[in-house]
Amino acid sequence: MKRRHFLQYGAAWGAALALTGGAVAQTGNAARVALTIEPADVEMIDGVSVFMLLFFGPNGARPVLRATEGDVITLTVRNNDARTHGFAIPGVAGATIGAIQPGRERSATFTAPRGGTYLYIDPTLAPVNRLLGLHGAFVVAPRHPATPVGVVTPFSRDAQTTNVRTLFEALGASERFPGHRWTPDRERVWMFSQTDPALNVRVDAGATIDPRTVVANFAPRYFTLNGRSGFDSSHDPATRASGYIGEPLLLRVLNAGLATHSPHIHGNHVMELSGVGPDGAQVVRDNTLERDSWTMAPFDRKDMLLPFERPPDIPPAAYPMRQEQFPLRYPMHCHIEMSQTAGGGNYPQGLITDWEILGPSPPAGG
């Protein structure tokens, strides 16, 4: 008999259920991480319950793993599912665990790579188990994050490009970007994925699936951001970006699914700071383009800067506004708009969240 978790988001957002930290216990440069793989029935935004397989940490499903560059991490994964699973972080040597039999646990020890955003997955039967939900974000803080003049960035000193340094040094120190510099707490992780319940039903029923047939037959009906969608992802405090003008925020955006997304943000353009090379390694951009829509192909991991600048097309003669009030709320949604549906309709209950500008400048002393 299987015991399953039941995850219902609609009523529970605000509860610290998903995307919690705490999965890493740290002692000096050594850290221990314990994950379990569990079957779960997850309620989609339209009330349909879908079988999924999820990683759990001590504080719940879909943990974000965190470490500092150079940490020696011992990772243990326990498989509480009835099928064989595994673990990998593409682009990170040694962070791989082969077949973990049902009811067993296995470990790997590896060194945290240079500061950045990484994707952990179960690579078994790829892409099946990853699509069933077995994926998460691994965030590495750089050991030396400052530029030569002492401004903190999300990137290691030796990975920083001239233009990324110029940009971060302009934050909080220029006419365009008044307010604060970027600080590492100003961050959101945005994990994109898609679910085709027909695939999940087959896995749950014990069907043998030829992984080579999955891409051609994948017809997703749910498009998620940190496991939720639509109204729920728009109100999830772990997803929703919030702050004052002058409080720049880093978006760590990942796509664990099979569909390419084209996220579009309203209210501010974002700067594309990093991506991945053909070998899965982090690439920090030198030509740092400002975009309102960017590409998220499968396995992409991109660090984007949401500058929290005054929305540039508000007329200065009408600012600060007299009638319209803060907070200013804007959506971020995928523009390949099939992703805005749930169950074949229900626009906009798909891959979307809102972000909000609370006021015209950071609170004094804040």
- Chain residues binding another protein by CB under 8 A are 10, 46, 163-164, 166-167, 176, 215-216, 218-221, 230-231, 234, 258-262, 264, 266-269, 271, 287-295, 311-318, 321-325, 328-331, 335-338, 340-341, 343-349, 354
CB of 174 to another protein, least distance (A): 9
The answer to whether residues 51 and 18 touch, using CB atoms and an 8 Å cutoff, is no
CA 334, chain centre distance (Å):
14
CB of 238 to another protein, least distance (A): 18
CB of 195 to another protein, least distance (A): 11
CB of 48 to another protein, least distance (A): 11
Q: Which is nearer to another protein, 104 or 176 (CB)?
A: 176
Q: Which is nearer to another protein, 274 or 349 (CB)?
A: 349
Q: Which is nearer to another protein, 72 or 314 (CB)?
A: 314
CA distance 55 to 77: 9
CB of 171 to another protein, least distance (A): 11
Q: Which is nearer to another protein, 88 or 164 (CB)?
A: 164
DSSP 262: -
CB of 102 to another protein, least distance (A): 31
Q: Which is nearer to another protein, 76 or 361 (CB)?
A: 361
Q: Counting Cβ atoms within 10 Å, is residue 325 exposed (0-12), middle (13-18) or buried (19+)?
A: exposed
CA distance 2 to 278: 40
Q: Which is nearer to another protein, 143 or 329 (CB)?
A: 329
CB of 166 to another protein, least distance (A): 5
Q: Which is nearer to another protein, 69 or 300 (CB)?
A: 300
Number of Cβ within a 10 Å radius of residue 332: 26
Phi-psi region of 358 (alpha: psi -120 to 50; beta: other; left: phi over 0): alpha
Q: Which is nearer to another protein, 97 or 131 (CB)?
A: 131
> Which residues in 267-289 are b (16+ Cβ under 10 Å) and which e?
bbbbbbbbbbeeeeebbbbeebe
CA distance 236 to 124: 30
User: Tokens at residue 349, please?
Assistant: 């209950």
CB of 259 to another protein, least distance (A): 5
363: helix, coil or strand?
coil
* Contacts with 333 (C-beta within 8 Å, 6 or more apart), sequence order: 263, 264, 339, 340, 348, 350, 351, 352, 353
Q: Counting Cβ atoms within 10 Å, is residue 356 exposed (0-12), middle (13-18) or buried (19+)?
A: middle
